[in-house]
Amino acid sequence: MENWHTYLTGASKERQQERRGRWLTSLALLVIGALVVTILLFLIAKGVRLFTTGEGKLTEFFFSPTWAPGAGVFGAAPMIVTSLIVTVVAGLIGLPFALAVALAVTEILPPVAKKLLQPVIELLVGIPSVVYGLVGLTVIVPAVRQLVGGTGFGLVAAVGVLYLMIMPTMTSMAIEALQAVPKQQRQASAGLGATRWQTIHRVVLPAARGGILTAMIFGMARAFGEALAVQMVIGNAAIMPTSLQSSAATLTSVLTTGMGNTIMGTAANDALWALALVLLAMSLLFNLGMRLVTKKG
Amino acid sequence: MNEIALAVQNVAVAYGEKPVVTDVNMEFPAHQITALIGASGSGKSTLLRSLNRMNDEIATVTGQINFHGVDINRPETNVYRVRQQIGMVFQQPTPFPMSIYENVIYGLRLRGEKDRTVLDQRVEASLKQAALWEEVKDRLQTSAQALSGGQQQRLCIARTLATQPEIILMDEPTSALDPISTNQIEATLAQLKEQFTIIIVTHNMQQASRISDWTAYFEQGKLVEFKPTDQLFMNPSEQRTADYLSGKFG
């Protein structure tokens, strides 16, 4: 080699490639970061307008049970409560079922079952929410009407639709969490004389606890943010629910029904933005919760 | 020859259509360490895992495995009780996600043992036997997964000892460990044979010659030679054994 110095330290295709790659990825990161910050700032700016203009008061917004934008009363409590109820109930009902299916697939059934079930679950995850809403409208609402009376529209129907919607997601995440437990752990447990149930209950579930909780929170986050399917079956009455049959409205369903009917800059419009801000804050909380359980697990 | 702990008759193991172990006959002497050696794929681990039915649902095991005069290789056998009597320690240390204390009494909990004094005693005795007590006695309630690899493996041995089996099967228990941890475990094994019968699979010929009383050499799924360890190493009667021991094969 004539000039080792230029050969080893001079300009080269490799170094140029690396520099270009770093530049491109940094740019992408910057764009995404800027997007997130912009959305946050925009939502906050829009969301607090209701209170800065003096049209609505914070205490009224969070605690008043009356949502009457036409009359200038902006109590979001009914929607916040309804959103929380449908989400939590759907999540709590969904988890045992999702876990049972996941355990059957990973621990009990032969491997072929997983091969068959996986595409089915993926298909269910991919179905658009409007289809779930349609199923809710044509199957669940009439069923609720038959079984518990009333119109059929309301909390029960919304919970039913959300349950169907988040089950596949929760199941596939629970399957992943269980599969992440090393098979040596199961063998070691069996080697000590444990039955399959003892191994599941004493070793596999504790080891997968973080992942399973994440699956539940993820499912609940999806339920909390779902607008269309819920709006189709919940009855859309922005009142504090008094029973599981009563018609109600969630944060998202009020947003979708109201957004087109208000004029930018009016108090009614600002109130919707305030609801959106609450939604965003809740999503952040779900995210935080997920981080906490994965760290612990 | 002393008392027989486990007798294997005409045992063959196949994964699907593929035979891995063919026609093995041998008797494992009680309170001795028997080493199973051979190249990778010689079937020694597969045979070991058949001895306490760990191959159920994985492979087809035919033949008889006699334990106290009972053929345990039959469908009606209670495999959970078999594994309580014939415990197993694996290649990778596998501490469960719980405290050191709970790890050791895992097998006892499975049987519903609740008496605190019994549990406390068993924890101390087992950890002492596994030469781990001094290192962990002040942190029994901390997570077992924070231990070092060698400590984890000794914990797994203690966990098996705590169930008080008659026979302990070990599948290359030191191959994932450093030389110091390996020494500690080998020293532990020498102590344990007074109380237990030990059958150990090892890739390490020196280890077999150091710790075992009997050695069985396997080649391509067949038992080639089974003798007291010093005789097998000094004076193998089969040419194939001699070749393997001198490194001409495997």
Q: Which string of DSSP letters, residue by residue, matches A23-73?
A: HHHHHHHHHHHHHHHHHHHHHHHHHTHHHHTTSS-HHHHHH---EEGGGTE
- Based on the fold, state whether residues A90 and A198 are members of the same structural domain: yes
- Based on the fold, state whether residues A174 and A291 are members of the same structural domain: yes
Is A193 in Cβ contact with B84 (below 8 Å)?
Answer: yes
Task: State percent of chain B over pLDDT 90.
Answer: 81
- Based on the fold, state whether residues A176 and A206 are members of the same structural domain: yes
Residue B111 with chain A: CB contacts under 8 Å? 193
Tokens representing residue B140 in the block: 């029994």
Number of H helices, E strands in chain A: 15, 2
Give the closest-approach CA distance of A119 to chain B in angstroms.
Answer: 25
- Based on the fold, state whether residues A128 and A43 are members of the same structural domain: no
B126 lies in some domain:
no
Residue A177, CA atoms < 13 Å, CB-side half-sphere: 29
Whether chain B has a CB inside 8 Å of the CB on A191: the answer is yes
Q: Which of B176, B200, B204, B178 is nearest to B189 (CA)?
A: B200
Give the CATH number for residue A223: 1.10.3720.10
Is B92 in Cβ contact with A192 (below 8 Å)?
Answer: no
Q: Calculate mean pLDDT across residues A253-270.
A: 89
Give per-residue pLDDT as tens, A97-136: 999 999 999 999 988 988 998 899 989 999 999 999 999 9
Which chain A residue's Cα is nearest to B107?
A: A192
Tokens representing residue A240 in the block: 């504090």
Are A276 and A46 within 8 A, CB to CB? yes
Whether chain B has a CB inside 8 Å of the CB on A197: the answer is no
Q: Calculate mean pLDDT across residues A227-242.
A: 90
Are B37 and B62 within 8 A, CB to CB? no
What pLDDT is stored for residue A242 in this prediction? 87
B56 lies in some domain:
yes
Are B195 and B162 within 8 A, CB to CB? no
Is B88 in Cβ contact with A202 (below 8 Å)?
Answer: no
pLDDT, greater one: A90 or B248: A90
Please report which confidence band the pLDDT of residue A8 belongs to, taking 50, 70 and 90 as the band edges.
confident
- Based on the fold, state whether residues A28 and A164 are members of the same structural domain: no
Structural domain boundaries enclosing A85: 62-296
- Based on the fold, state whether residues A167 and A42 are members of the same structural domain: no
B188 lies in some domain:
yes
- Based on the fold, state whether residues A14 and A66 are members of the same structural domain: no
Residue A297 has a CB neighbour count (10 Å cut-off) of 17
Domain count, chain B: 1
Inform me whether the pLDDT recorded for A157 exceeds 90: yes
Please report which confidence band the pLDDT of residue A55 belongs to, taking 50, 70 and 90 as the band edges.
confident
Give the closest-approach CA distance of A91 to chain B in angstroms.
Answer: 26
Is A202 in Cβ contact with B110 (below 8 Å)?
Answer: yes
Residue B109 with chain A: CB contacts under 8 Å? 202
As for the ipTM of the complex, it is 0.89
- Based on the fold, state whether residues A277 and A162 are members of the same structural domain: yes
- Based on the fold, state whether residues A66 and A36 are members of the same structural domain: no
Q: Cα separation of A124 and A132, whole Å? A: 10
Rounded mean pLDDT of chain A?
91
Q: Calculate mean pLDDT across residues B87-101.
A: 94
What pLDDT is stored for residue B64 in this prediction? 95
pTM for the model: 0.85
Tokens representing residue A274 in the block: 């305030």
Please report which confidence band the pLDDT of residue B1 belongs to, taking 50, 70 and 90 as the band edges.
very low
Give per-residue pLDDT as tens, B7-48: 999 999 999 889 999 999 999 999 999 999 999 889 999 999
- Based on the fold, state whether residues A11 and A148 are members of the same structural domain: no
What pLDDT is stored for residue A296 in this prediction? 60
Domain count, chain A: 2
Inform me whether the pLDDT recorded for B154 exceeds 60: yes
Lowest mean pLDDT among A2-11, A172-181, B202-211: A2-11
Give per-residue pLDDT as tens, B57-83: 889 999 999 999 999 999 999 999 999
- Based on the fold, state whether residues A168 and A292 are members of the same structural domain: yes
- Based on the fold, state whether residues A163 and A79 are members of the same structural domain: yes
Give the CATH number for residue B45: 3.40.50.300
Structural domain boundaries enclosing B172: 4-94+166-246
Whether chain B has a CB inside 8 Å of the CB on A194: the answer is yes
Give per-residue pLDDT as tens, A243-252: 888 899 999 9
Task: State percent of chain A over pLDDT 90.
Answer: 72
Q: Which of A87, A55, A26, A44 is nearest to A218 (CA)?
A: A87
B228 lies in some domain:
yes
Give the closest-approach CA distance of B93 to chain A in angstroms.
Answer: 9
Inform me whether the pLDDT recorded for B208 exceeds 50: yes
Q: Which of A198, A219, A267 is nearest to A53 (CA)?
A: A267
